[in-house]
Amino acid sequence: MPTTPPPIIDARGLWKRFGKLAVLKGVDLSVAERELVFIIGPSGSGKSTLLRCLNRLEEPDDGSVQVDGIELLSPKTDINAARRRIGMVFQSFNLYPHMTARQNVMLALRKVLGKGKAEAGEIAARALDRVGLGDRMEHYPAQLSGGQQQRVAIARAIALEPRVMLFDEPTSALDPELVGGVLNVMRELRQDGMTMVVVSHEMAFARAAADRVVFMADGEKLEEGPPAQIFGAPRHERTRAFIRQIDRH
Protein backbone atom coordinates (compact mmCIF):
# COMPACT_ATOMS: atom_id res chain seq x y z
CA MET A 1 0.00 0.00 0.00
CA PRO A 2 1.51 3.36 -0.99
CA THR A 3 1.90 5.76 1.88
CA THR A 4 0.80 9.32 1.23
CA PRO A 5 3.15 11.92 2.69
CA PRO A 6 1.71 13.84 5.64
CA PRO A 7 0.01 17.10 4.63
CA ILE A 8 2.05 20.28 5.03
CA ILE A 9 -1.06 22.12 6.19
CA ASP A 10 -3.49 20.28 8.41
CA ALA A 11 -6.33 22.31 9.91
CA ARG A 12 -9.02 20.48 11.83
CA GLY A 13 -12.36 21.44 13.26
CA LEU A 14 -11.79 25.19 13.02
CA TRP A 15 -14.42 27.31 14.71
CA LYS A 16 -14.41 31.08 14.66
CA ARG A 17 -17.10 33.37 16.02
CA PHE A 18 -17.27 37.14 15.76
CA GLY A 19 -19.68 37.99 18.55
CA LYS A 20 -22.73 35.80 17.93
CA LEU A 21 -21.92 35.18 14.29
CA ALA A 22 -20.17 31.87 13.60
CA VAL A 23 -17.92 32.51 10.60
CA LEU A 24 -16.26 29.09 10.63
CA LYS A 25 -18.23 26.06 11.75
CA GLY A 26 -15.78 23.23 12.23
CA VAL A 27 -13.86 23.41 8.98
CA ASP A 28 -11.10 20.94 8.05
CA LEU A 29 -8.50 21.68 5.43
CA SER A 30 -5.44 19.69 4.58
CA VAL A 31 -2.98 20.59 1.86
CA ALA A 32 -0.25 18.37 0.47
CA GLU A 33 3.21 19.63 -0.34
CA ARG A 34 3.44 21.34 -3.75
CA GLU A 35 -0.34 21.40 -4.01
CA LEU A 36 -2.28 24.47 -5.19
CA VAL A 37 -5.62 24.66 -3.44
CA PHE A 38 -8.21 27.22 -4.45
CA ILE A 39 -10.89 28.30 -1.99
CA ILE A 40 -13.99 29.77 -3.56
CA GLY A 41 -17.37 30.78 -2.26
CA PRO A 42 -19.74 33.70 -1.88
CA SER A 43 -18.64 36.67 0.23
CA GLY A 44 -19.18 36.02 3.92
CA SER A 45 -18.63 32.29 3.45
CA GLY A 46 -15.62 32.39 5.79
CA LYS A 47 -12.95 31.65 3.17
CA SER A 48 -10.71 34.61 4.09
CA THR A 49 -11.14 33.87 7.79
CA LEU A 50 -10.10 30.26 7.16
CA LEU A 51 -7.02 31.44 5.29
CA ARG A 52 -6.12 33.88 8.08
CA CYS A 53 -6.37 31.08 10.63
CA LEU A 54 -3.60 29.26 8.76
CA ASN A 55 -0.99 31.78 9.98
CA ARG A 56 -2.90 32.75 13.12
CA LEU A 57 -3.63 36.30 12.01
CA GLU A 58 -7.05 35.13 13.14
CA GLU A 59 -7.18 33.14 16.37
CA PRO A 60 -9.65 30.25 15.98
CA ASP A 61 -11.95 29.66 18.95
CA ASP A 62 -11.60 25.92 18.56
CA GLY A 63 -9.73 23.40 16.44
CA SER A 64 -6.11 22.83 15.53
CA VAL A 65 -3.78 24.06 12.81
CA GLN A 66 -0.55 22.31 11.92
CA VAL A 67 1.79 23.81 9.34
CA ASP A 68 5.02 22.05 8.42
CA GLY A 69 4.72 20.01 11.59
CA ILE A 70 4.29 23.03 13.88
CA GLU A 71 1.21 23.23 16.06
CA LEU A 72 0.26 26.88 15.43
CA LEU A 73 -2.28 27.25 18.21
CA SER A 74 -0.15 25.77 20.97
CA PRO A 75 0.90 28.40 23.53
CA LYS A 76 4.39 26.88 23.43
CA THR A 77 4.80 27.69 19.74
CA ASP A 78 6.92 30.68 18.80
CA ILE A 79 4.43 32.15 16.36
CA ASN A 80 6.96 34.59 14.88
CA ALA A 81 9.30 31.74 14.01
CA ALA A 82 6.41 29.74 12.54
CA ARG A 83 5.23 32.62 10.38
CA ARG A 84 8.57 32.78 8.60
CA ARG A 85 7.54 29.54 6.91
CA ILE A 86 4.13 30.87 5.90
CA GLY A 87 4.10 33.68 3.38
CA MET A 88 0.98 35.78 2.98
CA VAL A 89 -0.25 38.11 0.27
CA PHE A 90 -3.14 40.46 0.96
CA GLN A 91 -5.91 41.92 -1.16
CA SER A 92 -4.75 45.48 -0.44
CA PHE A 93 -1.00 44.68 -0.83
CA ASN A 94 -0.14 46.30 2.53
CA LEU A 95 3.27 47.43 1.41
CA TYR A 96 5.03 49.75 3.84
CA PRO A 97 4.58 53.15 2.16
CA HIS A 98 7.59 54.76 3.85
CA MET A 99 10.01 52.21 2.40
CA THR A 100 11.22 51.49 -1.13
CA ALA A 101 10.33 48.19 -2.78
CA ARG A 102 13.70 46.82 -1.78
CA GLN A 103 13.40 48.02 1.82
CA ASN A 104 9.96 46.42 2.02
CA VAL A 105 11.53 43.07 1.16
CA MET A 106 14.58 43.62 3.35
CA LEU A 107 12.83 44.41 6.62
CA ALA A 108 11.95 40.87 7.71
CA LEU A 109 15.16 39.49 6.22
CA ARG A 110 17.07 41.74 8.58
CA LYS A 111 14.86 41.77 11.67
CA VAL A 112 13.52 38.22 11.59
CA LEU A 113 16.25 36.21 9.84
CA GLY A 114 19.01 38.47 11.18
CA LYS A 115 20.73 38.95 7.82
CA GLY A 116 23.22 41.75 7.40
CA LYS A 117 22.38 44.77 5.30
CA ALA A 118 24.38 43.70 2.24
CA GLU A 119 23.11 40.14 2.23
CA ALA A 120 19.49 41.19 2.80
CA GLY A 121 19.84 43.69 -0.03
CA GLU A 122 21.04 40.97 -2.40
CA ILE A 123 18.31 38.54 -1.44
CA ALA A 124 15.74 41.32 -1.87
CA ALA A 125 17.13 42.17 -5.29
CA ARG A 126 16.87 38.54 -6.37
CA ALA A 127 13.30 38.26 -5.08
CA LEU A 128 12.28 41.44 -6.90
CA ASP A 129 13.97 40.17 -10.04
CA ARG A 130 11.96 36.99 -9.77
CA VAL A 131 8.67 38.94 -9.86
CA GLY A 132 9.91 41.04 -12.78
CA LEU A 133 10.62 44.22 -10.83
CA GLY A 134 14.42 44.28 -10.87
CA ASP A 135 14.24 47.76 -12.38
CA ARG A 136 11.83 49.14 -9.74
CA MET A 137 13.77 48.33 -6.58
CA GLU A 138 14.31 51.89 -5.42
CA HIS A 139 10.71 52.98 -6.11
CA TYR A 140 8.30 53.72 -3.31
CA PRO A 141 4.92 51.92 -3.35
CA ALA A 142 3.13 55.13 -4.34
CA GLN A 143 5.27 55.23 -7.50
CA LEU A 144 4.18 51.73 -8.55
CA SER A 145 0.99 50.44 -10.18
CA GLY A 146 -1.30 48.17 -8.17
CA GLY A 147 -0.05 45.14 -10.05
CA GLN A 148 3.57 46.07 -9.39
CA GLN A 149 2.78 46.68 -5.71
CA GLN A 150 1.23 43.25 -5.41
CA ARG A 151 4.29 41.69 -7.01
CA VAL A 152 6.51 43.50 -4.49
CA ALA A 153 4.28 42.04 -1.78
CA ILE A 154 4.83 38.57 -3.25
CA ALA A 155 8.58 39.21 -3.34
CA ARG A 156 8.46 40.31 0.31
CA ALA A 157 6.89 36.97 1.20
CA ILE A 158 9.00 34.63 -0.96
CA ALA A 159 12.29 36.27 0.06
CA LEU A 160 11.88 34.52 3.41
CA GLU A 161 11.70 31.16 1.57
CA PRO A 162 8.41 30.08 3.09
CA ARG A 163 7.18 26.49 2.90
CA VAL A 164 3.67 27.58 1.98
CA MET A 165 2.12 30.72 0.52
CA LEU A 166 -1.33 32.06 1.37
CA PHE A 167 -3.05 34.43 -1.07
CA ASP A 168 -6.06 36.40 0.16
CA GLU A 169 -7.86 37.69 -2.93
CA PRO A 170 -4.57 38.85 -4.47
CA THR A 171 -6.11 40.32 -7.62
CA SER A 172 -9.43 41.69 -6.32
CA ALA A 173 -8.15 45.24 -5.89
CA LEU A 174 -6.48 45.39 -9.30
CA ASP A 175 -7.59 46.93 -12.55
CA PRO A 176 -8.31 44.12 -15.05
CA GLU A 177 -5.27 44.85 -17.21
CA LEU A 178 -2.96 44.42 -14.21
CA VAL A 179 -4.29 41.05 -13.09
CA GLY A 180 -2.31 39.06 -15.64
CA GLY A 181 1.10 40.09 -14.32
CA VAL A 182 0.24 38.94 -10.80
CA LEU A 183 -1.24 35.65 -12.02
CA ASN A 184 1.89 35.03 -14.08
CA VAL A 185 4.05 35.37 -10.99
CA MET A 186 1.76 32.96 -9.14
CA ARG A 187 1.96 30.50 -12.04
CA GLU A 188 5.75 30.61 -11.91
CA LEU A 189 5.73 30.03 -8.15
CA ARG A 190 3.53 27.04 -8.77
CA GLN A 191 5.92 25.68 -11.39
CA ASP A 192 8.74 26.03 -8.88
CA GLY A 193 6.81 23.72 -6.60
CA MET A 194 5.48 26.20 -4.01
CA THR A 195 2.59 24.98 -1.90
CA MET A 196 -0.18 27.55 -2.28
CA VAL A 197 -3.60 28.22 -0.81
CA VAL A 198 -5.49 30.85 -2.77
CA VAL A 199 -8.75 32.62 -1.95
CA SER A 200 -9.82 34.25 -5.19
CA HIS A 201 -12.52 34.76 -7.78
CA GLU A 202 -10.13 34.17 -10.69
CA MET A 203 -12.03 31.14 -11.95
CA ALA A 204 -10.11 30.80 -15.21
CA PHE A 205 -6.88 30.65 -13.23
CA ALA A 206 -8.41 28.09 -10.86
CA ARG A 207 -9.51 25.90 -13.76
CA ALA A 208 -6.08 26.03 -15.35
CA ALA A 209 -3.75 25.89 -12.38
CA ALA A 210 -5.46 24.48 -9.27
CA ASP A 211 -5.01 20.88 -8.13
CA ARG A 212 -8.07 21.11 -5.95
CA VAL A 213 -10.93 23.54 -5.47
CA VAL A 214 -12.71 23.94 -2.16
CA PHE A 215 -16.17 25.47 -2.13
CA MET A 216 -17.29 27.17 1.07
CA ALA A 217 -20.62 28.68 2.09
CA ASP A 218 -21.89 29.90 5.46
CA GLY A 219 -18.74 28.91 7.32
CA GLU A 220 -18.70 25.34 6.05
CA LYS A 221 -16.82 23.42 3.43
CA LEU A 222 -19.57 22.14 1.18
CA GLU A 223 -17.49 20.26 -1.34
CA GLU A 224 -14.02 19.91 -2.76
CA GLY A 225 -12.39 18.19 -5.69
CA PRO A 226 -10.38 18.71 -8.84
CA PRO A 227 -11.38 21.83 -10.80
CA ALA A 228 -12.92 19.76 -13.59
CA GLN A 229 -15.31 18.21 -11.11
CA ILE A 230 -16.18 21.36 -9.16
CA PHE A 231 -16.67 23.50 -12.25
CA GLY A 232 -17.97 20.78 -14.57
CA ALA A 233 -20.13 18.62 -12.35
CA PRO A 234 -20.68 20.23 -8.95
CA ARG A 235 -22.61 17.98 -6.60
CA HIS A 236 -24.03 20.58 -4.30
CA GLU A 237 -26.85 22.90 -5.34
CA ARG A 238 -25.13 25.92 -3.73
CA THR A 239 -21.95 25.22 -5.65
CA ARG A 240 -23.91 25.00 -8.89
CA ALA A 241 -25.68 28.29 -8.19
CA PHE A 242 -22.40 30.01 -7.29
CA ILE A 243 -20.59 28.84 -10.41
CA ARG A 244 -23.52 29.77 -12.65
CA GLN A 245 -23.41 33.26 -11.19
CA ILE A 246 -19.63 33.64 -11.55
CA ASP A 247 -19.69 32.38 -15.15
CA ARG A 248 -22.25 34.97 -16.09
CA HIS A 249 -19.67 37.73 -15.46
Partner 1 sequence: MQDFAFAFLNLEIVREAWPILWSGFLYTVALSLMTVPLGLLGGVALALLATSGPRAVRLAAAGWTDLFRAIPPLVLLVFLYAGLPFAGFDISAWGAVAIGFFLNTGAYYGEVLRAGIESVPRGQMEAARSTGLSRGQALAHVVLPQAVRNVLPDLISNTLEVVKLTSIASVVALPELLFQARQAQSVTYNATPIVAAAVAYFLLLWPLVRLVSRLENKAMAGR
Q: Which residues bind partner 1 (CB under 8 A)?
A: 55, 57, 80-81, 83-84, 86-88, 90, 92, 94-98, 107-108, 111-112, 153, 156-157, 160
Residue whose CB is less far from partner 1, 98 or 248: 98
Residue whose CB is less far from partner 1, 92 or 172: 92
Neighbours of 189 (CB within 10 A): 21
**Rounded Cα–Cα distance for residues 166 and 58 (Å):** 13
Residue whose CB is less far from partner 1, 53 or 243: 53
Residue whose CB is less far from partner 1, 98 or 249: 98
Residue whose CB is less far from partner 1, 65 or 213: 65
Angle (CA) 28-182-46 rounded to 5° is: 25
CB of residue 89 vs partner 1: minimum separation in angstroms?
A: 9
Residue whose CB is less far from partner 1, 106 or 222: 106
CB of residue 163 vs partner 1: minimum separation in angstroms?
A: 13
CB of residue 75 vs partner 1: minimum separation in angstroms?
A: 16
CB of residue 80 vs partner 1: minimum separation in angstroms?
A: 5
CB of residue 229 vs partner 1: minimum separation in angstroms?
A: 32
CB of residue 88 vs partner 1: minimum separation in angstroms?
A: 4
Q: Which amino acid is at 67?
A: V
Residue whose CB is less far from partner 1, 66 or 103: 103
Cβ atoms of 8 and 195 closer than 8 Å: yes
CB of residue 144 vs partner 1: minimum separation in angstroms?
A: 16
